[in-house]
Amino acid sequence: MFKIIFLGTPDFAVPSLQALINDERFEVVSVITQPDKPVGRHSELVSPPVKICAEKHGIPVHQPEKLKSDTGYRIPEADCFVVVAFGKILPQWFLDIPKHGVVNVHGSVLPRWRGASPIQAAIAAGDKKTGVTIMKMDALLDHGPILATKEIEIQDHDTGGTLRDKLSELGADTLPNALADFLNGRIEPVEQNHDLATTCKTLKRKEGKIDWNKSAEEIERLVRAYDPWPGTWFEFDGKRLKILRARVCANQNLKPGQRFLQNQMPCVACANDSALGLVTVQPEGRPKMSGSDFLRGCSSWQ
């Protein structure tokens, strides 16, 4: 039985942790996750999903503000560390601790979409496929050699949220056998083709502001990619109007950014003689609603 230390934080990481807990080939001896965070109006501390899962199974949890070699925390002996959406860069001294190194579950088929937002990047770019990569980590970002990959198709209706859930489960399905084969010496890590690497950045709320000088097809993909985070929006009557669902529709020879109606749906002209229909929106400070319902309370759309 291989001893594993698991590092992860959000919902995305929980199925992988659960898969290792359920597999008799592994013993998860410790979990390292982010500190509890204040949430909501009253700033109540909320535990990361990975912590909740670990405590349910009686696994010791450590929540350092930073990974430092002099914190006094004694890292248990382990054959390998497994990292799934931990949320922090791991220093080299930490990567050097386990005998067999550190294995990561990444939400893309590397070397495409190295970085913090591979799921959103794949949808936004119009990729037809994505997947997960099980890799051995090195000091560079998503640069290490590959143990296994598994692909799935991206559906036209996929959002950042739905694709995240699919890849979370796909990673959990792929991880145990790939990890066991690696630790038993049955597979050797394969170097990535670094010439084909693409990167994506950490998303911030401002990334969701719509640029109507893009085509409607690009913007519609962004609406899906950035659902639920960071969301897409534009300013209307001095307030933010979120776009929750949209579809490409016909332009009426208008310049990008001009508003019009089509079949009782609010639309905005975009680049390349395209236009975007706003199917579902959320005005600032109000609940989500259909585009047609939004128009009923709006006299200044055109």
Cis omega (within 30 of 0) on the bond before 230?
yes
Q: With a threshold of 0.85, does the pTM exceed it?
A: yes
Domains and CATH numbers, the chain: 2-200 (3.40.50.170), 205-296 (3.10.25.10)
**HSE of 177 in the Cβ direction (CA atoms, 13 Å)?**
7
Strand-pair category, 26-32 with 2-8: parallel
Copy the structure tokens of residue 235.
């300013």
Q: Where does the chain show beta strands of DSSP type E?
A: 2-8, 26-32, 37-39, 44-46, 61-62, 80-84, 102-106, 114-115, 129-136, 146-153, 199-200, 232-236, 239-250, 259-262, 265-269, 274-283, 289-290
Say if residues 117 and 201 touch (Cβ distance below 8 Å): yes
Does residue 126 contact residue 146 with C-beta atoms inside 8 Å?
A: no
pLDDT at 70: 64
pLDDT digits 0-9 by tens, 161-176 = 999 999 999 999 999 9
Q: 40-75 in b/e burial notation, b at 16+ Cβ within 10 A? A: eeeeeeebbbbbebbeeeebebbeeeebeeeeeeeb
Alpha helices in 184-286 (DSSP H): 216-225
Provide the token pair at 153: 């198709």
Determine the pLDDT at residue 72: 64
Task: Provide the residue-wise pLDDT of the chain in tens; the chain has 302 residues.
Answer: 999 999 999 999 999 999 999 999 999 999 999 999 998 778 899 999 999 999 999 999 999 998 877 666 788 999 999 999 999 889 999 999 999 999 999 999 999 999 999 999 999 999 999 999 999 999 999 999 999 999 999 999 999 999 999 999 999 999 999 999 999 999 999 999 999 999 999 999 999 999 999 999 999 999 999 999 999 999 999 999 999 999 999 998 999 999 999 988 999 999 999 999 999 999 999 999 999 999 998 878 87
pLDDT of residue 71: 61
Q: What pLDDT score does 252 carry? A: 85
Asked if residue 262 lies in contact with residue 218, where contact means CB atoms within 8 angstroms, the answer is no
pLDDT of residue 161: 98
The whole-angstrom separation of Cα 69 and Cα 45 is 27
